[in-house]
Amino acid sequence: MSNSPNSQSPRQNRLAAETSPYLLQHKANPVDWWTWGPEALAEAKRTNKPILLSVGYAACHWCHVMAHESFEDETTARVMNKLFVSIKVDREERPDIDQIYMTALHHLGEQGGWPLTMFLTPNGEPIWGGTYFPKTSRYGRPAFVDVLHEVARLFREEPEKIEHNRAALMARLGAAARPPGVVTIGVAELDDAARQLAGLIDPVNGGTRGAPKFPQAALFELLWRAGRRSPHPNPPPHAEEGREGERYFAAVEITLDHICEGGIFDHLGGGFSRYSVDERWLVPHFEKMLYDNAQLLVLLATAYLRSGKPLYRQRAQQTVAWLAREMTTAEGAFAASLDADSEGEEGKFYLWSYDQVIKELGIEDGAFFAGHYDVTPQGNFEGRNILNRLKHPLPIPPPLAGEGRVGDDEARLAALRERLLAAREHRIRPGLDDKILADWNGLMIAALTHAGLMLAQPSWLHMAERAFAFIARATTRGDRLGHSWRYGRLTFPGLASDFAAMIRAALALHEATGQQSYLDQALTWQYVLDRDYANAETGTYYLTAADAKGLIVRPAATADEATPNHNAVAAQNLVRLALLAGDDRFRERADRLIAAVAPRAVENLYMHMALLNAVDLRLRAAEIVVTGNGEGAEALLTAARALPPFDRVVFHARTAESLPSAHPAREKIRTGHASQAFVCIGETCSLPISEPSRLAGAIEAVRHV
C-alpha cells in the first residue's frame, strides 16, 4: 500500500489526508478515525462520547497485530464508531501526547508499551487504559470489544467512578511540573550510582540480567565514565589500583561483544534492531530505529579507541553503510525507522533456511558460511535461522605468523555476505517510516560527527553536515524548529527534545570544524529553548512550547526513554556552551537544571542515567584549547577531536584574544609560538603542548593535579 498522501483507495477515513506513514497504514480501516486536534475534542463534546486514544508507530509489531485483529475488523469498528470518538496518534510525530497518556497509564500501575490504548473524557482527560488488547480474551487480557462495552457503560451509568479516576490521574499528572526537594550529586554519588547499576549487568552475556535485553547506551556510557573516573583508568597488567575502573570497562565490552555478534545486529545489511527478546542477544525484535543506532555508534567508536578491537570498528562502519544505503532520504536527512514486519510476519525479511543459503552460495561456500553464522537445517529460531556469530565470533588478529588464514577467512565471508545481501534485496522489504524527525536526526548527526572523528572517517562528517543543513533549512520557521517533516509538511512547533538534540548536533559540528556558524546556530536555538520551553519555577524544560495547543497539561517528564531525556541533553549542551561561548551564565543554568532533576534521579537512577552523565561532564569536562593556525594547529585539533567526546570539549582559539579575558590559559600562551594546546579543567591548565600524542596523557595529568 502506498504511503503517499495523494494515493487513493475506494474507502478511506480522515487519516488519508495525513503524511505520517503510521497514520497512513490505517487510512483504509473501517474505524472512523480522527487525528488529534480541536475538531476531534469538539466532536466528543458534541456527542458526549468518551474518547478512545490509540497511540503507536510504524515499526511497532503489536500495533500491527491489534490493527489486523481489531481496527480492520468491520464488527469491532462498528462498536468503536458507535460508542467512542476514536483518535489515532503516531507517537513519533506527537511524543508530547504519548508522554502525557503513557505517564497516566504508569500512574494506573501498568508497565506501559505500544500500542497505547487510553480512554479519555470528552475534554481529553485520562480515565483508564492499557496497551495491546486482543480481539478475543487471551494472554490474561480481556477481549477488546468487551473492554469497549464496559468503558462505555461506566461512562453512561457510573459517572462517579469515571470522575474518581479522572481526578486522581489529573492530580498526579499536574504534580510532575512542581519542584521536588533539594539533593546534591557529586563524584561520590556518581560512583555509588555506578556501583549499583553495575550490579545489574549480566556477567556472561552483557546487558542487564535476564530478558528482554535492550542496548541501553546511556547505562554503558555511565559505566564508561565511571571507569574514566577511576584513579588509573588504564592500569598496567596485574596492578591492583584501577581494578574497579577495569570492571566497568569490561561490563561495557562484554555487552558490545554480544550485541555485535548476536542476531540483534543485521550481519548482512548492517544496523542494530530495537532489542533482543532472549538473554543471549540472539533473537531480535526486528525493527530498526534511528536513535538506537545513533547511540550505539558513539559507544562503538569510543570502545574501539580503548580496546583496539576490530569488531567495534567494523560494526560501526557497517552501521553507517546501512544508514547511507537504507535510511538516508533524498533530502540528505535520516528516516525514522524500519518495520519489524514484512508480508505480515515479523522478521521474515531477515531469516534464512539452510537450503536457501546453499542455493545462493553453492554447497562449498554455503557450508563454510553456515558454519560461521550458526545456520543449520533445523534452524536456531522457529525452524529458520537468524544469522549470528555468537558461537564463532570475529577473531582478534593473532600474531603475524598466523594472520593470513584468519584474514583470508574473513575476506571470504565478507564476499559471501555481499552475495546474500544482493539475494535478500529481491525479497519484499519491511516498511520504511521515512518521516524526518528533528530530534532523532540531531542524535544521529552528533553521533556521525563524533564517531567519524574518532575513526578517521571524513565522509561521515559530510553526511552529518548535509543532514544538519536540511534540518536547519526545512524544519524551521524563523528561529524555531518543527518536529516532523514529510512531503513538505511540518509538524510545528517543535519539542524541547528537538532543540536539545539539534543544539547537541550543532555543537558537535562546531567542535569538529571550528565553523562559527554552527556555534551561532546553537546559541540561537538555546535562546529559543530558554524563551519558549523553560519552567521558570524549576529551571527545567517542558517538552512542549508555551504556545502549543490542545494538551491537558504541559509534559514535564525528566526520565529517559529509549532516548535520553531532553533535560539531560540540555544540561550537557549548557556545559559545552559555557566553555565554547565563554559565558558562565550557561554553566549557572546547567547547575540549576541539574539541581532540579537531581532528587528524581536519586529516587530512580535507572530512569535518569543521561542526567547522571550530564553531571559527570559538568564536574570533569576537559577543555582542550588549541591556539594558532597552520599545520601544527591542525595536527593538534585532529588529535583533540579524535578523543572520545564524553568528557572533552575542543576549542580553537586562533589568537590569545579569542579566549575570554578570564580564561586560565591566556597567561600560559607563549607569544611567538604558532601552535599550542592547553588542557584546562576548571581553573587549572596544563603547560603548553605541541605534540598531538601528548594530549590524552595531559588530560589525565590535569585531572589528578
DSSP strand E in 101-197: where? Answer: 116-120, 126-130
289: β partners:
337
pLDDT for the residue numbered 547: 95
Characterize 379-396 residue by residue with b for buried, 16 or more Cβ atoms within 10 angstroms of its Cβ, and e for exposed. Answer: bbbeebbbbbbbeeebee
pLDDT for the residue numbered 266: 98
What superfamily does domain 14-175 belong to in CATH? Glutaredoxin (3.40.30.10)
Which residues, at least 6 apart from 202, have a Cβ–Cβ distance to it below 8 Å? 208, 209, 210, 213, 279
pLDDT for the residue numbered 179: 62
Which residues, at least 6 apart from 246, have a Cβ–Cβ distance to it below 8 Å? 227, 230, 235
User: Which 3 state secondary structure label does DSSP give 627?
Assistant: strand
Which residues, at least 6 apart from 409, have a Cβ–Cβ distance to it below 8 Å? 372
Nearest to 113 by CA among 71, 65, 66, 60: 60
CATH (residue range 621-703): 3.40.30.10
Residue 33: how many other CB atoms lie within 10 Å: 25
CATH (residue range 187-347+433-619): 1.50.10.10
Distance CA 583, CA 629 (A): 24
Nearest to 461 by CA among 276, 642, 690, 673: 642
CA 161 to chain centre: 39
Q: Say whether the peptide bond before residue 644 is cis (omega within 30 degrees of 0).
A: no
Span 74-117, pLDDT tens digits: 999 999 999 999 999 999 999 999 999 999 998 888 888 899 99
Q: Say whether the peptide bond before residue 115 is cis (omega within 30 degrees of 0).
A: yes
Nearest to 298 by CA among 122, 464, 499, 62: 464
Span 273-320, pLDDT tens digits: 999 999 999 999 999 999 999 999 999 999 999 999 999 999 999 999
Tell me if the pTM is above 0.85.
yes
pLDDT for the residue numbered 665: 83
417: β partners:
none
Nearest to 498 by CA among 269, 325, 333, 332: 333
* Number of alpha carbons in the 13 Å side-chain half-sphere of residue 160: 0
pLDDT for the residue numbered 406: 58
pLDDT for the residue numbered 671: 60
Distance CA 624, CA 597 (A): 29
Residues of the chain with pLDDT under 70: 1-10, 139-140, 176-182, 231-243, 396-406, 670-673, 705
Please check whether residue 305 is in contact with residue 644, taking contact to mean a CB–CB distance below 8 angstroms.
yes
Same fold for the pair 14-175 and 621-703? yes
Long-range CB contact pairs, 485-488, < 8 A, 24+: 485/333, 485/435, 485/436, 485/438, 486/19, 486/20, 486/21, 486/434, 486/435, 486/436, 487/4, 487/5, 487/19
CA-based torsion, 692, 693, 694, 697: positive or negative:
positive
The domain locations on the chain are 14-175, 187-347+433-619, 354-429, 621-703
